[in-house]
Chain A
Amino acid sequence: MIRTINCEIDRAEGSLQRLIGLVERRGFHIDVLEMEAEGNGGRRVALGVRARDSGRCFDVLGRQIDRLIGVRRIAAGREMAV
Chain B
Amino acid sequence: MNAQSAHVRVEPAQRLSGAGLMVRALERLGVTTVFGYPGGAIMPLYDALAGSGIRHILVRHEQAAAFAADAWGRTTGEVGVCIATSGPGATNLITGLANAMMDSAPMVAITGQVGTAVMGTDAFQEVDILGMTLPVVKHSYVVRDPADIPRVMVEAFEIAAMGRPGPVLIDLPKDVASALTDDGYFPAPDRPVAPELDAGAVEAAEREIQAAERPVLYVGGGVGLAGATRALRAFAERTGIPAIATLKGLGALPTGHPQHLGMLGMHGARAANEAVHDADLLIVCGARFDDRATGRLDTFAPGARVIHIDADPAEIGKLRAAQVAVTGDLGATLDRLGRTAPAIGSWIARTQAAKAAHAAHYDAPGDDVYAPALLKAISEAAGDRFVAACDVGQHQMWAAQHCRFSRPRAHLTSAGLGAMGYGLPAGIAAKLARPGDEVVVITGDGSIMMNIQELATARRYGVAVKILLLDNSRLGLVRQWQELFYDRNYSEIDLSDNPDFVKVAEAFGVEAFRISLREEVGPGIERLLAAEGPCLAHVMIDPEHNVWPLVPPGKGNIEMMHHSFKRM
* Chain A residues engaging chain B, CB cutoff 8 angstroms: 12-14, 17-18, 21-22, 25, 57, 59-60, 63-64, 66-70
Contacts and interface: CB of A to CB of B under 8 A. Distances in A.
A59 B141 CA distance: 28
Contacts of B139: 68-70
A13 B428 CA distance: 35
A25 B139 CA distance: 16
B130 interface: yes
Given A69-B138, A69-B139, A69-B159, A63 B131 contact: no
B78 interface: no
B313 A17 contact: no
Interface in B132-174: 134-135, 138-142, 144, 159
Contacts of B159: 69
A18 B131 CA distance: 8
24 contacts: A13-B130, A13-B142, A13-B144, A14-B130, A14-B140, A17-B134, A18-B134, A21-B134, A21-B135, A22-B135, A57-B317, A57-B318, A59-B317, A60-B314, A60-B317, A63-B313, A63-B314, A63-B316, A66-B314, A67-B312, A67-B314, A69-B139, A69-B159, A70-B139
Given A12-B141, A57-B317, A69-B159, 9 more contacts: A13-B144, A14-B134, A18-B134, A21-B134, A25-B135, A57-B318, A64-B314, A66-B313, A69-B139
A17 B130 CA distance: 10
Contacts of B130: 13-14
Contacts of A60: 314, 316-318
A24 B23 CA distance: 37
Interface in B287-318: 312-314, 316-318
B31 to A, nearest CB: 21
A59 to B, nearest CB: 7
Residue with the greatest number of chain A CB neighbours at <10 A, chosen from B131, B139, B140, B314: B314
A67 B313 contact: yes
Residue with the greatest number of chain B CB neighbours at <10 A, chosen from A63, A66, A68: A63
A18 B138 CA distance: 10
Contacts of A17: 131, 134
Interface residues of B, number: 17
Contacts of B131: 14, 17
Contacts of A66: 313-314
Contacts of B140: 14
A1 B222 CA distance: 35
Nearest to B171: A13
Contacts of B314: 60, 63-64, 66-67
B313 A14 contact: no
A13 to B, nearest CB: 5
Contacts of B138: 69
A69 B160 CA distance: 11
Contacts of B313: 63, 66-67
Contact of B141 (A13, A22, A64, A68): A13
A79 to B, nearest CB: 18
Nearest to B158: A69
A25 B136 CA distance: 11
Nearest to B137: A18
A71 B192 CA distance: 17
A59 B321 CA distance: 12
Contact of B142 (A14, A18, A59, A68): A14
Contacts of A67: 312-314
Contacts of A22: 135
A22 B138 CA distance: 12
A70 B316 CA distance: 21
Contacts of B312: 67
A25 B134 CA distance: 11
Nearest to B140: A14
Contacts of A13: 130, 141-142, 144
A9 to B, nearest CB: 12
A39 to B, nearest CB: 21
B297 to A, nearest CB: 9
A59 B159 CA distance: 24
A39 B138 CA distance: 27
A14 B128 CA distance: 11
Contacts of B134: 14, 17-18, 21
Interface string B251-276: 00000000000000000000000000
Nearest to A61: B314
The 6 residue pairs across chains A and B that have the minimum distance between CB atoms:
A63-B314, A69-B139, A64-B314, A13-B142, A67-B314, A60-B318
Nearest to A68: B139
Nearest to B163: A67
Contacts of A63: 313-314, 316
A24 to B, nearest CB: 10
B311 to A, nearest CB: 10
Contacts of A70: 139
A21 B159 CA distance: 20
Contacts of A25: 135
A63 B315 CA distance: 8
Nearest to B159: A69
A63 B312 CA distance: 9
Nearest to A65: B314
Interface in B10-54: none
Nearest to A62: B314
Nearest to A24: B135
